[in-house]
Amino acid sequence: MLVMKFGGTSVESAAAIDRAAKIVQSRLPQQPVVVVSAMAKITDQLLAMGQHAGSGQRDRALELSRTVRERHYNTAGELLGTGIFTQFHAELEAEFDALDELLRGIAAVGELTPRTTDNVLSFGERLSSKIVTQAFSARGIDAYLVDARECIITDATHTRAVPMFDITNPRLQAKMKPLLTKNLVPVMGGFIGSTRDGITTTVGRGGSDFSAAIVGAALDAERIEIWTDVDGMMTTDPGLCSDARRIKVISFEEAAELAYFGAKVLHPATLLPAIQKNIPVYVLNSRNPKCEGTRIIAHAPSCRNAFKAIAAKKRITIVDVVAARMLGAHGFLKAIFDAFDRHRCAVDVVSTSEVSVSLTVDSNEAIPNLAADLAKIADVKYEGRKAIVCLVGENIRGTSGIAARVFTALGDINVRMISQGASEINLTFVINEDDVPEAVRRLHSAFFSDLDPEVFS
């Protein structure tokens, strides 16, 4: 069997869902399980509704809900024709009534908690999976709707819940295998799950890719296909650099590093389940299904270029910690990392000198409390609006003079921190957020003009 995940843009409209149906039809003999995202932009709009309701703007929340309702009704109507849509309408209506009820409740309480946020956000995938199932059925695919919340069981860390594989895997197998035996095509919303007690959770923004990989690993899929709006993983974000080229094949390790450092095309956690079961992952374009996309596998073929791609992650803050009273004392780093741990702040890049440590974090919420905590042992400064730029490629190992070439290409762009990851397949540095487009363009033209045709298209 195989898993086919369709992202927001791949189910954004009746035309997109129609294309997705054709793509699934072409794979029926391989027994697909389909995972879908919410329609494009819907998760953002649901979040906005929740925030409006939480801040007392009930009518604004309900107004936005009405436009979202209309978009779903119109899409379903266009896909199904009046006959089937009339029967199905009540089902969608019940979902939207429940959403509005929830928004009224949030407005009454005047607070949007992480738990309620997950409940609000879950409507995107609940709705899209229902519409896609109906549309597939109307096009002759024996589609069967699976509620992700019965299968993907997570902890209760709302808005970034962690799947519990020991429960999730058997649930997925028990649910999906009988359906596949009957040649049905399961359709499940990505991104959402539930706690053991049945409380709705989400696995983090962009998490439908991760859901697809979880399903693929649980069912020992032959492959996991991530259908999106670009031809595959590219040498850099095509939105940043129009010269970006498609990477034909890349290793798990390289792709994971790119996803982690900002290549939004894959959610950073996606590859972990695939790596564990050694399942190839393909990134494909639902608007251009003939294109071969990108194949992500355990060992990529050798490549004559130093790098496979450039990723950039914005909204980074640098925290500078300067030893005050503890100068020279051992245990300083431990004390710093303990503080980051207490405030659940993940650190991406670290550089140290004898008396100071600089660290980058990607979430600003915890910083004021963290800084207050660290102030007990050191002087702390922090500076936002930074970005991590990361060049990835297995050939960095053993290519000499590579750093010099990178920093020459960057020219006068000010670099704040530099790190060559312990994995030895990335070269990472921190710059001002505003410099990202120029930095990426300069690096792209320096390193991606003469490409190995075996690896790049």
Please give the residue ranges that form the binding site for ligand ADP (CB under 6 A): 7-10, 37, 206, 228-230, 233-234, 236-239, 263-265, 309
List, as one string, the DSSP characters of 240-289: T-TT--BBSEEEHHHHHHHHHTT-TTS-TTTHHHHHHHT--EEEEETTST
CB of 7 to Mg ion, least distance (A): 5
Q: Which stretch binds ligand ASP (CB under 6 A): 171-179, 199-207, 248-256, 332-340?
A: 199-207
Q: Using CB atoms, what's the residue nearest to ligand ASP? A: 208
In the list ligand ADP, ligand ASP, Mg ion, none, the entry touching 427 (Cβ below 5 to 8 angstroms by class) is: none
For ligand ASP, the binding residue among 32, 206, 216, 262 (CB under 6 A) is 206
Residues whose CB falls within 8 Å of the CB of residue 402, separated by 6 or more in sequence, listed in order: 306, 396, 427
CB of 60 to Mg ion, least distance (A): 27
In the list Mg ion, ligand ASP, ligand ADP, none, the entry touching 237 (Cβ below 5 to 8 angstroms by class) is: ligand ADP
By CB under 6 A, the residues from 13 to 42 that bind ligand ASP are: 37-38
Q: How many residues bind ligand ASP (CB under 6 A)?
A: 13
Q: Which helix (H) or strand (E) holds 382?
A: strand 378-392
Looking only at the bridges linking them, the beta strands covering 185-189 and 32-36 are parallel
Measured between alpha carbons, how far apart are the two ends of the chain, in Å?
A: 28
Nearer to ligand ASP, 89 or 205 (CB): 205
In the list Mg ion, ligand ASP, ligand ADP, none, the entry touching 281 (Cβ below 5 to 8 angstroms by class) is: none
In the list Mg ion, ligand ASP, ligand ADP, none, the entry touching 229 (Cβ below 5 to 8 angstroms by class) is: ligand ADP
Nearer to ligand ADP, 137 or 286 (CB): 286
CB of 226 to ligand ASP, least distance (A): 10
Residue ranges that bind Mg ion, judged by CB under 5 A: 7, 206
448 binds ligand ASP (CB under 6 A): no
Cα separation, 282 vs 111, whole angstroms: 41
293 binds ligand ASP (CB under 6 A): no
In the list ligand ASP, ligand ADP, Mg ion, none, the entry touching 205 (Cβ below 5 to 8 angstroms by class) is: ligand ASP
Handedness of CA 175, 176, 178, 183 (dihedral sign): positive
Spatial CA neighbour of 2 closest among 224, 290, 273: 224
Spatial CA neighbour of 24 closest among 2, 47, 57: 2
Nearer to ligand ASP, 208 or 236 (CB): 208
Residues whose CB falls within 8 Å of the CB of residue 355, separated by 6 or more in sequence, listed in order: 322, 323, 327
Nearer to Mg ion, 38 or 249 (CB): 38
Nearer to ligand ASP, 8 or 393 (CB): 8
Three-state SS string across 302-325, please?
Answer: CCCCCCCEEEEEEEEEEEEEEECC
Q: Using CB atoms, what's the residue nearest to Mg ion? A: 206
CB-based contacts of 91-99 (< 8 A; 24+ apart in sequence): 91/130, 92/127, 92/130, 92/131, 95/123, 95/126, 95/127, 95/130, 96/65, 96/68, 96/69, 96/72, 98/123, 99/49, 99/65, 99/123
Nearer to ligand ASP, 190 or 216 (CB): 190
CB of 281 to ligand ASP, least distance (A): 15
Nearer to ligand ADP, 76 or 392 (CB): 392
Residues whose CB falls within 8 Å of the CB of residue 294, separated by 6 or more in sequence, listed in order: 232, 233, 246, 247, 248, 249, 250, 255, 282, 283
426 binds ligand ASP (CB under 6 A): no
CB of 401 to ligand ASP, least distance (A): 40
Q: What angle do CA 380, 313, 319 make, to 5 degrees?
A: 5
In the list ligand ASP, ligand ADP, Mg ion, none, the entry touching 43 (Cβ below 5 to 8 angstroms by class) is: ligand ASP
CB of 253 to ligand ASP, least distance (A): 23
**How many Cβ atoms from other residues are within 10 Å of residue 330's Cβ?**
7
For ligand ASP, the binding residue among 207, 280, 293, 393 (CB under 6 A) is 207
Residues engaged in binding ligand ASP (CB under 6 A): 7-8, 37-38, 43, 124, 190-191, 205-209
